[in-house]
A = this chain, B = another copy of it.
Amino acid sequence: MEKGKAYFMKGCEVVAEAALRAGCRFFAGYPITPQNEILEYMSQHMSERGGSFVQSESEIAAVNMVYGAAAAGIRSMTSSSSPGISLKTEGISYMAAARLPGVIVSVQRGGPGLGTIQPAQVDYMQAVYAPGHGGHRCMVFTPSTLQEMADVTAIAFEKSERDRNPAIILIDGCLASVMEKVVLPEAIEPPARPDWALRPIANTPKAWISPGWMNPEDLEQDNLQRAEMYMRWQAEDVMVEETGLEDAEIVLTGYGTSARSAHSAMRALRARGIRAGLIKPLTVSPFPVESYRKLSGGVKRVIVVEMAIPGQMLGDVQAACDVQVDYFARAGGVIPTGEEVERFVLSLLEQPADAYREV
């Protein structure tokens, strides 16, 4: 590929290629729709870069192989979709416990259970608040364009490694499948093996990677350090895109595919003379609390657009906001259109917003 040139690519390919360019040299995964093209791309291109691709026996095997590769200091990734992410939660928690970096791509589909194979945003709470037992947290990146996907992938690897904590790229089946023009970042060399990583040669200084503690007091200290890390994230690592907030009376907000519908609606409302703005989180853990908190008195309503019923990001917006929060959602695999969002906002402006969702 030519440097700096835009290529027309599919979402799954973008996140895979961006990971390879970010120095990812190990990928293990297990097939599940709608993210199989990530495995497919990795299976074709990982070995060209000198890395290893494994289609594992199970979702559990995949995440534990990532644990192993990460312990050896290799930039590693796995990906799955909703049921598969549930199966990986034990392993993600073990990675966090052992202070191992690694990137997990979670491609949400309709749920619960087997659900549907169409896109949804119903795994937000899992990614943000319970990516495994134990109360640990991961950074959660929420790109809404393929260009953003290319960009946050490298950041996810870097911050995951900085923090020695797994990071999640939370997308959905729509972003995984659409095609857009993307300028890919330049490929970097995988970084040198970190000091903490395990080494293959016997007679080197001892390294120790473990997901367990003998002593509750030691684990309590660990939990405290983790809590401090989460506070640093809040202070330093929030990524958010704000549009039109300077004069907005209505603020739309959403992430990923929902942000695209919200953005369309915002432009349509502006064309009608309604001063709409948009808050688009690119990280939801840490959550861009400040973007909502600072909304001035001129803002009458914040409208959360989500592909989840009941709302999930909704709660985080409500906790951050002092103004009235409304909510428009489709779920089960149905994608809200910009027109639907626009009509919902128009209806709100004429009448009190108590409808659960527009039908």
Contacts and interface: CB of A to CB of B under 8 A. Distances in A.
Q: Which of A89, A122, A124, A224 has the most CB of B within 10 A?
A: A89
A98 interface: yes
Contact of A82 (B85, B114, B133): B133
A114 B34 CA distance: 29
B58 A57 contact: yes
Contacts of A108: 133
Contact of A111 (B86, B95, B133): B133
Given A57-B60, A319-B318, A133 B211 contact: no
Given A57-B60, A130-B126, A224-B356, A215 B135 contact: no
Nearest to A44: B200
Contacts of A191: none
A60 to B, nearest CB: 7
Interface string A157-195: 000000000000000000000000000000000000000
A111 B130 contact: no
B94 A219 contact: no
Interface string A197-236: 0001100000000111111111111111011001000000
A133 B83 contact: yes
A132 interface: yes
Q: Which of A44, A68, A86, A89 has the most CB of B within 10 A?
A: A86
B319 A215 contact: no
A227 to B, nearest CB: 4
A116 B216 contact: yes
A93 B86 contact: yes
Instruction: Determine how many copies of this chain the complex contains.
Output: 4
Given A83-B93, A110-B219, A331-B219, A122 B115 contact: no
Interface residues of A, number: 82
Nearest to A43: B200
Interface string A33-52: 00000000001100100001
B93 A112 contact: yes
A332 interface: yes
Interface stretch (A13-21, A238-246, A259-267, A309-317): A309-317
A132 B132 CA distance: 9
Nearest to A62: B57
B57 A56 contact: yes
Contact of A216 (B118, B309, B318): B118
A213 B210 CA distance: 31
A55 interface: yes
A94 B116 contact: no
Contacts of A222: 332
Interface of A: 43-44, 47, 52, 54-58, 60-61, 64-65, 68, 82-83, 85-87, 89-90, 93-98, 108, 110-116, 118, 122-126, 129-130, 132-136, 200-201, 210-224, 226-227, 230, 308-310, 312, 315, 318-319, 330-334, 356-357
Closest 9 CB pairs of A and B: A111-B134, A97-B113, A112-B134, A219-B332, A216-B333, A113-B211, A114-B212, A220-B332, A122-B135
Given A89-B89, A125-B135, A213-B332, 20 more contacts: A52-B52, A55-B68, A56-B57, A82-B133, A86-B93, A110-B134, A112-B132, A112-B134, A113-B211, A115-B134, A115-B213, A115-B219, A116-B214, A126-B132, A216-B333, A220-B330, A220-B333, A223-B310, A227-B356, A315-B319
